[in-house]
Amino acid sequence: MPTQPEHTTRPAAPPDAGTAALRISDLVKTFEGRGEPVHAVRGLSMAAHAGRITALLGANGAGKSTTLQCAQGLQQPTAGSVRLLGADPWRAAPDLRARVGVMLQDGGLPQAVRPGELLRHVSRLYADPVPAPELMDVLGIGSFAHTPVRRLSGGQKQRVALAAALVGRPEVLFLDEPSAGLDPRSRHLVFELVQRLRDRGTCIILTTHLMDDAARLADYVYILDRGTVAAQGTVAELVSAQRDAPLVMTVTLAPEHAAALRADPPWRTPRFHDIAWTVKDRTVTLTGPLDAGHVREITAWATRNETLPEALSVQPRSLEDVFLDVSGRDLP
Ligand SMILES: Nc1ncnc2c1ncn2[C@@H]1O[C@H](COP(=O)(O)OP(=O)(O)OP(=O)(O)O)[C@@H](O)[C@H]1O
């Protein structure tokens, strides 16, 4: 089982390198209703490339869905430009649609139809479809191919929705929360498939609230905040770009020693001046420019108190830490 995330081995795709399958420039989308206008997207630029997985992250209401709806030609931009496979998706001819696959989170599947029939029907719409039996096999749909969609579980519907999005061998694939509702085995199956498609040159654009999914899959990440891009880069770039590449040390102590830690915290010495810390239950989390000296002081403290930490780890900040730093700082 590989433990090394893909993003550390794959060269980054700078947003301006080469021709982007999707390029969005200065996108603005304002919804005018009866009340105040809603500024869903406020000058957002991004690009997504063939053979890369690009993730859009953002808090609820950050503008991810609106951006993707503009990218898919489902919403007309208020201002700015969107080019999908070289065309304006809002005005493009229907043949652009045949080159694009969209998997929606709620599936958008007809409830009465059975997955087998559905996939066979969808495949007849394309000149060179992936054969339905092949897709059903890869996504493990065979065992419920004859069950009406309304009787499927959420995770089974997700897999059918993904299969339907893949039938036409899309050049660009939009995935909205692809692992929502999937059990660990199905999630693994879907991730492997998505990575294979990426390796074959598909441009994949995904939105997710799961930072682990993004960290595992994405070659390039955009973090949206209130309709604009608050941060972007590879996962490795994002986690090392913040606050002088701080590290996170977590120390978990036996319950009887947690009180000693509170009474005589080891981080009161000058060495810990630049280090932020929090204590929750029995676990101390220290964040900042940590080095071996800090680890030594913590272990010296443990020796003085005749305790052995149950766990001690030093890691780079996670994508979730970065996300929390840059997005939705003043949510209501
Ligand atoms: N059709 C619409 N009419 C009016 N306002 C809308 C419409 N669609 C979205 N909005 C508003 O635009 C803002 C951005 O919404 P959007 O759905 O793009 O966010 P999101 O990042 O996809 O959120 P989530 O993670 O919750 O799906 C929100 O304030 C939302 O209420």
For residue 275, what is the domain's CATH number?
3.30.70
Which of 33-37, 191-195, 196-200 shows the lowest per-residue confidence on average (mean pLDDT)?
33-37
User: Looking at 240, 258, 287, which one is the last position of a domain?
Assistant: 240
Phi, psi of 187 (to 5 degrees): -60, -45
Please work out whether the CB of residue 66 comes within 6 Å of at least one atom of ligand 1: yes
Question: CB–CB of 171/204 below 8 Å?
Answer: no
263 shares a domain with 295: yes
By alpha-carbon position, which residue is closest to atom 7 of ligand 1?
31
Tell me which residue has its CA closest to atom 15 in ligand 1: 61
pLDDT (average), residues 14-20: 60
User: Are 277 and 212 part of one and the same domain?
Assistant: no
What is the per-residue pLDDT for 243? Answer: 52
Number of domains in the chain: 2
Note whether 84 and 232 are same-domain residues.
yes
| Helix (H) or strand (E) run with residue 186 in it | helix 184-199
Whose CA is closest to atom 25 on ligand 1? 60
pLDDT of the residue at 199: 94
- In a domain, residue 328? The reply is no
- Kindly report the protein residue whose alpha carbon is nearest to atom 16 of ligand 1: 63
Ligand 1: residue whose CA is nearest its atom 24: 60
Are residues 146 and 160 part of one domain?
Answer: yes
167 shares its domain with 230: yes
pLDDT of 151 strictly over 50: yes
Lowest-confidence pick of 39-43, 93-97, 177-181, 242-246: 242-246
Q: Are residues 32 and 102 in the same domain?
A: yes
Q: Ligand 1 pocket check: which of 36, 42, 60, 66 to mutate, most ligand atoms within 8 Å of Cβ?
A: 66
Q: ipTM value of the model? A: 0.97
Residue with the nearest Cα to atom 26 of ligand 1? 60
Residues 111 and 145 in one domain: yes
Assess if residue 187 is contained within a domain. yes
Strand order in the sheet with 79-84: 38-48, 22-31, 79-84
Q: Is 62 in the pocket of ligand 1 (CB under 6 A)?
A: yes
Provide the whole-model pTM. 0.80
Residue 278 is given by DSSP the state: E
Which ligand 1 atom sits closest to the C-alpha of 67? 18
126 ligand 1 Cβ < 6 A? no
**Which of 159-163, 220-224, 321-325 is predicted least confidently?**
321-325
> 215 lies in which domain range?
6-240
Of 240, 262, 285, the residue at which a domain comes to its end is: 240
What is the SS3 assignment for 269?
Answer: coil
Q: Which helix (H) or strand (E) holds 28?
A: strand 22-31
CA 227 / ligand 1 centre spacing (Å): 10
In a domain, 330, yes or no: no
63 lines ligand 1 (CB under 6 A): yes
pLDDT reported for residue 242:
58
The Å distance, Cα 14 to ligand 1 centre, comes to: 28
> Does the Cβ of 60 fall within 6 Å of ligand 1?
yes
275 and 209 within one domain: no
* Predicted pLDDT at 6: 39
Q: What is the pLDDT of residues 96-150, one digit of tens each?
A: 888 999 987 666 788 899 999 999 998 988 888 998 999 999 899 999 999 999 9
Q: Are residues 218 and 284 in the same domain?
A: no
Residue 1's pLDDT is: 36
Asked, for residue 332, whether it belongs to a domain, the answer is no
In this structure, the answer to whether residues 307 and 182 fall within a common structural domain is no
172 and 85 within one domain: yes
Among 8-17, 55-64, 171-180, 287-296, which is the least confidently predicted range? 8-17
For residue 114, the domain's CATH number is: 3.40.50.300
Residue that is last in its domain, among 182, 206, 240:
240
Q: Are 205 and 172 in contact (CB under 8 A)?
A: yes
* pLDDT of the residue at 266: 79
- Is the beta carbon of 31 within 6 A of some atom in ligand 1? yes
What is d(CA 129, CA 87) in angstroms, rounded to the nearest whole number?
Answer: 23
CA of 24 to the centre of ligand 1 (A): 18
Distance 67 CA to ligand 1 centre (A): 9
- pLDDT score of 9: 42
Query: Does 278 have pLDDT greater than 90?
Result: no
DSSP string, 72-115: TTSS--SEEEEEETTB-TTT--GGGGGGEEEE-TTTT--SSS-H
Helix (H, G, I), strand (E, B) or coil at 248: strand
Least confident stretch, 142-156, 183-197, 265-279:
265-279
Token pair in block for residue 232: 């972007």
Do the domain assignments include residue 323? no
Question: Residue 264: pLDDT above 50?
Answer: yes
- Confidence (pLDDT) at 328: 59
Closest CA to 103 of 5, 19, 182: 182
Residue 86 lies in a domain: yes
In a domain, 123, yes or no: yes
Establish whether residue 64 lines the binding site of ligand 1, counting it when its CB lies within 6 angstroms of any ligand atom: yes
The answer to whether residue 1 sits within a structural domain is no
More confident residue, 20 or 125: 20
Answer yes or no: is the C-beta of 265 below 6 A from any ligand 1 atom: no
Average pLDDT, the chain: 86
Q: Bigger pLDDT: 304 or 85? A: 85
Distance 63 CA to ligand 1 centre (A): 6
- Among protein residues, the one whose CA lies closest to atom 17 of ligand 1: 65
Same domain, 159 and 201: yes
Give the pLDDT mean for 151-175: 92
- Ligand 1 centroid to 255 CA: how many Å? 45
